[in-house]
Structure 1
Amino acid sequence: MSASDRTGPGKPESASGSTGLGKPESASGSTGLGKSEPGVDRAGSTPRRGAADPVKALMHRHRGLCERAVDPLEIAAGLEAHGITDRTAARFRHRDVFSLAEEMYARVSRDGDTTVPAPPAAPRVHAGWVLLTLLPGALCAAALAAVHLTHGRSRLFAAAAGALAVALALRAALRRGPLSRTGTDRPGPRPGAASGWTTPWTVWLVAYSLLGNGLLGNALAGGPDTLPTGTADGPWPLTAAPVLALALGCAPAAWTAHLLTARASRKLAVSRGLEDFATSVRPLLIGTFVLFLCALAALLTLSSAVLGERAAYPQVLTLGALFFLARLLTTHGFTYAPAVVLTAAATVEAAALATVFASRLPGFGLLATPVEALVTTWGADSVPTLTCGAAALALLAHMTRKLTRASAHAPPEPAR
């Protein structure tokens, strides 16, 4: 299909047709000399079927979408993804986008040479991505075991090698399966969608869950005087249970994302309108989110029991919720909000530490007062809990707006 057949996202379609020379025709018609006929109200006239058929022009622009659609809702989802709203549909003499899509679907179906394609198959579970999602948790457990069994410089090498292995495994898990942003075998993500630069902020948030609380407590007490020793009872304590739970949580995150994709595809097939789909998919989104949190809480309980550490449920659940919501939005093509929210959360945590150290300068003692009051009242883990909790709530509200759109779950357009 040529470039003229596509309409950029977010740009409403024009309701006017075009002549053979590409100039819009007047809806009121014209005389032989190009002057409008008397008695015709140009502003109040409506488009007519014929040479200036606006729906036909719209069908020409979205020919591929119309030809492969299995029902009007799929066309409506595609139009919605291209920025066509109910107000735009009114310019085509339709009450909403779904009504416009019904006419487009009916007019394509009358062509006897056009074969209506079969509905897209539901996404399947593949052994490849299942094993990849289990790999980060397994490698993280092995790395923690190596850290506990070694001492001195060997422990440092074991920690560095383990962190690198987990990072590579996580990257592989995010490139295939339900957590992938470029999958073509399921609805949602669009190949080539712009992505936010979130890796540094994600690394910071994970590192803070590992070392941040110990550093904050030491800083408020006047330290730290030594580097972390890699143990939970050292002068700069290391809390490994949150990191292990998050690494193990990669598997339930993938499973719940797969469940969301499969169920949303079914609802897309049976819904009779955009509002109907939004109403039916909203409980599915909330249920998927709650299911992941329950799985993460169980994994945190197991990790804390094995490592002999306190289970910091508020801190880990809010951080896990933030990561899960950010990934869900990213896989469905909404990358800007996750990037902004993750950046803001990491910045707030870094600022909390920075104010404590800056308060040691002469005349800046008041800088640490808010953080000190917060830690004294609720503990050191209250800083990441409140930060990640607020960020997760923002993404949850954003998700209930964006992922209830049919266009977020429509099959991706074939590459041209």
Structure 2
Amino acid sequence: MKKRLLKSAWFLPYVALVAAMILSSWTFLRTDTYRAQTDTLLNRTFEIQWRAAQIREQLAIAIGNLRLAMATGKLDPEFPNNIKIIDLNIRYLRAQPGVEDWFEAEGMRKLGRAQDLLQTGVKPFIDRTDQYSSVLSSLLHIKEDMIDISGAAVDQSTTLSATSQIRANAQRNTFLFAMAVLAVILAGLFMHQRALYERRKDHHIRSFSTLFAHMTRTRIAALMLFLEFLKEDQPPDMNMVGAARKTASELDTINAGLLRIAYSTKPTVHETLGSVIHSVISDRKATTLLDIDDDAARTHVPNSQFHLIIDELIANAEVAVKDNPHASIGVYARVKRPFLFRPQLILRIKDNGIGMNENQLKLAVTPFYSTRDGGHVGLGLSGCVEMVRTMAGKLKISSAPGAGTEVTIRYPLRPANQKPGVQPARA
């Protein structure tokens, strides 16, 4: 159960990888957003501080002009313009978006009071020399309020700047954390792929060993039997000598062929599946039904491996249907292309023979087990399972007594497998 769960969760590291990439991208974009917001806040703060400085400057000029007028009896002609500039700047400050974030309730109240004093205590009495003392008092009150407001604006500006900087730093740290998670996941995937490679390499060795054992075991047993029948006082039977020589020659041929495979420097030869199937069934007497779609027929597969596997499975099917007057052996192939996953070649070999029970099914994939009479020198079902596994595929056997047997092979395809090829005729 645990092994099955691990197999079904193979995609989780890739999901985590995508999630980490999305998180890192999002935090990177959010950092730029916060930086832009910080710039906007600082620009607005600068504007408010500049307006407040303008008000204080014009207030200082207006107060100076008014005191000079009280001493000389002559008011500077620019005095009304000073008051107008002060009034416009106060109106702008009160209308500024988000001004409440800088001045809060008390600051807004003082801004409103300053504007009211301008309207009721300054503007109506600009041309009246007897009211200069009252106007001066109003301007001094406005100056005190603006000093308090400017100090609050500076404090609020510092706080907002620090807050924005902290927020940007937090996003930057989140981005770095996401990148670290991404690096960890990539390292995990690398180690996982390396482990898969080592496991597949081990499967190759086991498959090669199984193939060698299956192809030599029966012949070695025959030679052992020949040696047991030898007697010192009697010459050996020439037929047995000829059979022993033939067996020894076969063993030498098998050994030489396997050594060529083991030490070959050339890549695996690939042929179209249609060609491989026809090369297997061309020399067989039993009629085999072919149902292979064009896509599957043009698919390139490892020639030697698929030839051995298909030959073994069809040979098993022939033995299973030999006593059935309505014998039927079928080879079916198609290419399945699931969304977001690698395409697969689905190869099925089905017969209507005697079938197997549950116990036989378990023994069928055991090395050296065979239901055939006499010497069996083929690959064997266990060898087929191992060889399919070395190609990163899966082999499944379904069978029931009297209902026949169906063997399904799922072989993952790569772009190199999808080449133009010759399609077989349907039989």
TM-score range, shorter chain: under 0.3
Which structure has more helix as a fraction of its residues?
A: 2
TM-score, length-normalised on structure 2?
0.24
**TM-score normalized by structure 1?**
0.25
Higher Rg = 2
The answer to which structure, 1 or 2, has the higher relative contact order (CA under 8 A, 6+ apart) is 1
